Amino acid sequence: MNVIIHIANSGYVDYAQEICDLIYESAQARGTGIAKRSAEYVAEKIEAGKAVIALDGDKLVGFAYIETFSHKRFVANSGLVVHPDYRNQGLAKKIKRKIFDLSRKLYPNAKIFSITTGLAVMKMNTELGFKPVTFSELTDDEEFWKGCQGCRNFDILQRNNYRMCLCTGLLYDPKVQPAMQASPFAKKVVKPVIKIKKTNKLHKK
């Protein structure tokens, strides 16, 4: 496997429809909902440099893109997908890291959020510093929540007035500094060196 993850540009627009097909097929296989996007929408993200694309040579093997909401105060990393032949090799984690870093670069003051039912996604987000939150702490932008209409659980979200659903809300707030980690040296158990002073005693025979 010789996969390279690229920051997208206009040179990758021809992959737009294939990306949409891969995202749809992946959602169908998992039995999860999907925020449906057109090839034109994905192409716009690619041309704007707001996506990353993973290729093995010329073969599409992964993708993710950035969406902004609430006047760019909130950012979502969307459409993360890996080709079935390339799963369980750590590629999703690498794509997630790449799109997260790109989001931080383009929108350094924005809160990055996600809603998911996937344990793997929760784990990846947690490793990047995301924290579980209630939906009230996420964007109230209607455009984001419209994306949930394609999910089989949308009626649950509606019945709860968009306050909760089966998904877990996760949020990365750049204003909240991560806890300082102890250095490798500090983690070692250092045993004190105790010198025992030997005394010369004269023993009578």
User: 183-199 burial, b for 16+ CB within 10 Å, e for fewer?
Assistant: eeeeeeeeeeeeeeeee
Residue with tokens 């004190």: 192
- Joined together, the tokens standing for residue 190 give 């250092």
pLDDT at 183: 40
Q: Tens of pLDDT along the chain (205 residues)?
A: 699 999 999 999 999 999 999 988 887 776 655 566 899 999 999 999 999 999 999 999 999 999 999 999 999 999 899 999 999 999 999 999 999 999 999 999 999 999 988 888 899 999 999 999 999 999 999 989 988 887 788 899 999 999 999 999 999 999 985 543 444 444 444 444 444 555 554 444 4
- Joined together, the tokens standing for residue 170 give 């996760």
Write down the pTM of the prediction: 0.80
The Cα–Cα gap between 181 and 60 comes to 37
What are the distances in angstroms from CA 31 to CA 105, 150, 194? 33, 12, 64
pLDDT at 188: 46
Strand partners, 74: 69, 111
The Cα–Cα gap between 178 and 75 comes to 19
The Cα–Cα gap between 17 and 41 comes to 10
pLDDT at 146: 86
Strand partners, 23: none
End-to-end CA distance of the chain: 81
Q: Where are the alpha helices (DSSP H) in the chain?
A: 16-30, 39-47, 91-106, 119-127, 142-146, 154-159, 184-187
Strand partners, 59: 56
Look at residues 76, 74, 67, 79 and name the one whose alpha carbon lies nearest to residue 20. Answer: 79
Look at residues 120, 101, 115, 110 and name the one whose alpha carbon lies nearest to residue 50. Answer: 101
pLDDT at 177: 55
